[in-house]
Amino acid sequence: MLKALRWNTNTLEVLDQTALPHEELWISCDNAEDVAKTIVEMKVRGAPAIGAAAAFGAALEAQRLRDLSLDTFRREMTKSLERLGATRPTAVNLFWAIERMTKTLKRPAENAGQLADWIRSEAEQIALEDVATNRAIGRHGADLFDKPVEILTHCNTGSLATVDFGTALGVIRTLAEDGKLTHVWVDETRPYLQGARLTAYELCQDGIPHTLITDNMAAHFMKQGRVDAVIVGADRIARNGDTANKIGTYGLAVLCAYHEIPFYVAAPLSTFDLSIASGEFIPIEERSAEEVTSIRGHRISPQQTSAAHPAFDVTPHSLITGIITERGVIHAPTEERILTWMGDGKESTE
């Protein structure tokens, strides 16, 4: 399976996802700034992958600074973590990973070298956990279906968007392994085309039958009865279950409600942001208008025409059938259910 990141003790290579599917280019990163650039430039993207990349960026920086005094090390590392945190605003996994690094940085230590080793271990731990998490999400998600299904998905949530395997695409992969997947509808995901370029690529590699559609075709195939469920990923889930994900997700949820099709979000617990009450507080990244007026450098609209480009939208929790996490499925998510469920780890039963 193609991975987003290649980590080997003290070296990090990032797969340039902007070059896919035509070229497989690896970018070598030496420090936190190199990694921050790959995140800003979308060479690495997808909430869990961004979190893991930032953690490895911190690990690289820590190795570079390990001979400094403890105070100077902590001060310089704090600056690097701030830089990594300023790359993309919506995916909370980034801030979750940085928070884990910050906690490690604050541990009492004998010298900077010791802290640097702990930071590296913490980054490796984040990556290891993500792989196990995605497998568990895949299992819980696939168990929701008892007969072969056609799934529609949006954006890219596979091994390229995580450390390995994927979240929503992990559920799709598990369904395929279980012999319960007939076909996948892949939304192209305008304007950045994560579906057309990345999800289609991953599905080709796995030999999973799929058809690429433009985002405005979803309603048509739903009406024809060709979509049994929609499964998407998430960038941030508020305390009440409102979910930010790639622009276009909210529209899919509305269509699902109209056609009475289950709409599932697949995401690790690290994507929940319990500090915010609802989706209205989720910061939405605004990207350049040029990504809308041009496709891969080719201008498609008049020079004078401007464009809007919110990179994410928020789906209200009332439209979500269930959130598939590594601990199970939170059905019909509400604040009460999420808090109870996060507190005691119990699955909701309705």
Which residues here bind ligand MRU, judged by CB under 6 A? 45-48, 91, 155, 157, 161-162, 167, 194, 233-235, 245-246, 311
- Burial call 133-166: b when 16+ CB within 10 Å, e when fewer: bbbbbbbbbbbbbeeebbbbbbbbbbbbbbbbbb
Query: Does residue 349 sit in helix, strand or coil?
Result: coil
Minimal distance, residue 277 CB to ligand MRU, in Å: 21
Query: Does residue 323 sit in helix, strand or coil?
Result: strand
Minimal distance, residue 284 CB to ligand MRU, in Å: 11
- Helix axis angle for 92-105 and 47-64, nearest 10°, is 30
Q: How far is CA 128 from CA 81, 123, 133, in A?
A: 21, 9, 9
Minimal distance, residue 320 CB to ligand MRU, in Å: 14
Nearer to ligand MRU, 63 or 194 (CB): 194
Minimal distance, residue 116 CB to ligand MRU, in Å: 29
Question: What is the Cα gyration radius of the chain?
Answer: 20
C-alpha 205/C-alpha 199 separation (Å) is 10
Q: Looking at residue 197, what DSSP letter applies?
A: I
C-alpha 296/C-alpha 93 separation (Å) is 28
Nearer to ligand MRU, 115 or 237 (CB): 237
Minimal distance, residue 50 CB to ligand MRU, in Å: 7
| Active-site position among 187, 228, 235, 273 | 235
Minimal distance, residue 64 CB to ligand MRU, in Å: 27
Nearer to ligand MRU, 173 or 246 (CB): 246
Nearer to ligand MRU, 73 or 95 (CB): 95
Does 30 participate in catalysis according to the annotation?
no
- What residues contact 63, with CB distance under 8 A and at least 6 apart? 10, 116, 120
Looking at the chain, the number of H-run helices and the number of E-run strands are 12, 16
C-alpha 84/C-alpha 234 separation (Å) is 20
> Which residues are registered as beta bridge partners of 6?
13
Nearer to ligand MRU, 162 or 325 (CB): 162
Measure CA 299 to chain center: 29
Nearer to ligand MRU, 174 or 245 (CB): 245
Residues with catalytic function: 235
